[in-house]
Amino acid sequence: MTLTTAAPALAELHGITVRYNGRTVLDHVDLLVERGQIVTVIGPNGSGKTTLARVLLGLVQPDKGTVRRGNDIVIGYVPQRVNIDSTLPLSVRRFLKLAARRDGVDIVGALTEVGTAHLLDADISSLSGGELQRVLLARALLRDPDLLVLDEPTQGVDFAGQIALYHLIGEIRDRHGCGVLTISHDLHLVMAATDRVICLNHHICCSGEPESVRIHPEYVALFGPKASEDLAIYSHCHAHNHDLAGNVVEGDGAHQHVDHQP
Amino acid sequence: MTFSGGRCSAGWVSPLAAGPLGCFVVWRRMSYFGASIAHAALLGVALGLILGIDLTLGIALTGVVFAIAIVFLQRHTRLASDTLLGILAHAALAAGLVAISSRQGLRVDLLGYLFGDILAVSQADLVWIYLGGGLSLAVLAAVWRGLLAITVHEELARAEGVHVLAIQLIFALLLAIVIAVSMKIVGVLLIISLLIIPAAAARPFAKTPEQMAILAALIGAVAVAAGLGASYHWDTPSGPSVVMAAFAMFLASLAAASFQRR
């Protein structure tokens, strides 16, 4: 890490254009992720979000544009879907050992950080959606990433779990100081833990701080007026939270629980 | 020719390599891929006879070329994988049958190639079987970790710097070699069973991928021993006898697993 610059760019994409079978999936898209920053790409289905992440990861070669990744940066990737055949006998411990040659203490540490230490010896194909997402996050953390790329990290996770997961992502950023690129289809969910939002629909519709994107005409046009309504639309009035095992825990004030607004 | 100890030991070698490799065939849901390479083996027999080269070498080379062709065609066609495999496998089998039958004056034991004939194993075949079996086990051990990584998640492995295409090609190569050296025992049409039945039978008793691989190797070896024993005593064809023995062990495994669950 260099000390001369406060926020060195981890990854910089410039003028990215990708075409599949004559269809333009990405059209001159720029993206910058800096250390310690959470950037969220939101957009409707088929808007090119995942393709953008894949370009950043080097899995897709853009037809036009430049991809610059920082020197020797390690990227931790959490893909959208992981289907492991149930004929493969693989414990969570072993699954994590495949990611990085680390000892048991590190593995337990990473699992503890994401709140799934109790799953250490569970079979990977027996996990629920939320559990699997957290184990995948632990897997990415074990690589000591400079940059985390999370593609729809809340797939198959229930609502309370989604909020908890985004909260966790914010914590991880604070603790590790890594940059984070998140892909989501729901701005409200990610608002609390996002520094910058990029609203994508093949091209960049608008970008900026979450609050400014929420009221941006292009965002409203893309997601409908409902999407820009007040946050209270999804808030709950619980006085407590649940941990992953479903037990009631003290509310930590990490996300606001307020009364429903009409 | 008599039923010699040398031939029986040859029978033991191929399942020791086929078992662990078969586990990957099962985990990666590639049994149709394996069967297709086996079908192409008959074309290898024909080429070997026509060119006057060693048949095992002919089969292995044809299998390798065929496997590489499939891997590349899968990347460049819109056809579903099983459609493509169905087309190529049966075209290769038909071409092999036509080529063999068109060589009049060639005395070919077609049934032996299709269903296996342990009595046809020559001294030269024995060398091939030992060399091929040993080599494929060694190579499999060397690529084990990478192969396991792409089995868990191909994109994730690629994003983390695993050479996916190279490992896929090596895997196809190993399949071709194991099929070539096992063909004398179980034949073109039954060879895939020597790959997948031991793996499936091993699954309920394995906690790790390695345990499953070792168990599958042992189950395959016992099936070959039992099948060849039965073939010797009752004068039944060697290939089908081995497959029946493997199937019996699979049924026993199913029964034991359901008993265990109670």
Residue B153: list chain A partners with CB under 8 A.
79, 82, 84
pLDDT by residue (tens digit) across A5-17? 455 688 889 989 9
pLDDT at B198 over 90: yes
Q: Which residues of B touch A95 (CB under 8 A)?
A: 152
Question: Which of B26, B145, B153 is opposite residue A87, by nearest beta carbon?
Answer: B26
For the segment A19-30, what is each residue's pLDDT rounded down to a tens digit? 988 888 998 999
Question: Is the per-residue pLDDT at A248 higher than 70?
Answer: no
What is the amino acid identity at position B129? I
Average pLDDT rounded to a whole number, residues A228-239: 43
What is the pTM (predicted TM-score) of this model?
A: 0.82
Predicted confidence at residue B105, as pLDDT, reads: 65
Q: Cβ contact (<8 Å) for B208 and A82? A: no
Percent of chain A with pLDDT over 70: 81
Q: Per-residue pLDDT tens for A82-129? A: 888 889 999 999 999 888 777 778 888 889 988 888 999 999 988 888
Q: How far is B253 from chain A (nearest CA, A)?
A: 14
Using CB atoms, which residue from A85, A89, A98 is nearest to B29?
A85
The whole-number pLDDT of residue A231 equals 42
Residue A199: band (very low, low, confident or very high) from pLDDT cuts 50, 70, 90 = confident
Q: How confident is the model at residue B147 (pLDDT cuts 50, 70, 90)?
A: very high
Higher per-residue confidence, B2 vs A68: A68
Please determine, for residue A47, whether its predicted confidence score (pLDDT) is greater than 60: yes
pLDDT digits (tens, 9 = 90+) for A214-224: 777 777 777 77
Kindly report, residue by residue over A148-189, the tens digit of the pLDDT.
Answer: 999 888 777 777 778 888 888 888 888 888 999 999 877 777
**Measured CA distances, B144 to B20, B136, B137, B166 (Å):** 10, 12, 10, 13
What the block records as the tokens of A85 is: 């055949």
As a CATH number, domain B5-257 is: 1.10.3470.10
Query: Testing the interface with A: which of B143, B154, B156 to mutate, by most A Cβ within 10 A?
Result: B156
Label residue B23 by pLDDT band (50, 70, 90).
very high
Q: Which residue has the higher pLDDT, A77 or A160?
A: A77
Cite the DSSP H helix spans in chain A: 49-57, 92-99, 104-113, 129-141, 159-176, 187-190, 210-214, 217-223
> With 80 as the cut, is the pLDDT of residue A211 above it?
no
* Identity of the residue numbered A133: Q
Domain positions in chain A are 8-34+46-73
| Bridge partners of residue A148, in order along the sequence | A76, A180
A63 contact partners, CB below 8 Å, separation of at least 6: A17, A18, A19
Q: Which of B23, B160, B253 would you mutate first to test chain A, the one with the most A CBs within 10 A? A: B160
Q: Mean per-residue pLDDT for B29-39?
A: 89
Q: Give the model's confidence band at A255: pLDDT under 50 very low, under 70 low, under 90 confident, else very high.
A: very low
Q: How far is CA A32 from CA A37, A146, A170, A221, in A?
A: 10, 14, 18, 25
| pLDDT of res. B4 | 55
The per-residue pLDDT for range B72-115, each reduced to its tens digit, is 887 787 888 888 888 988 998 898 888 888 776 666 777 888 88
- Given this model, what pLDDT does residue A229 score? 55
**Residue B69: predicted pLDDT:** 87
The ipTM assigned to this model is 0.82
Q: Which of A142-146, B212-216, B225-229 has the highest mean pLDDT?
A: B212-216
Q: Where are the domains of chain B?
A: 5-257
> Which of A150, A147, A134 lies closest to A96, judged by CA?
A134
pLDDT of A105 reads 83
Residue B148 has pLDDT above 80, yes or no: yes
Residue found under tokens 């060397």: B142
More confident residue, B82 or B139: B139
CA pair distance A139, A165, nearest whole angstrom: 15
**Mutation site for B-interface testing, chosen from A57, A94, A98 by largest number of B Cβ within 10 Å:** A98
A193 residue type, one letter: A
pLDDT for residue B174: 92
Q: What are residue B162's phi and psi, to 5 degrees?
A: -80, 135
Question: Are A82 and B148 inside 8 Å of each other by CB?
Answer: no
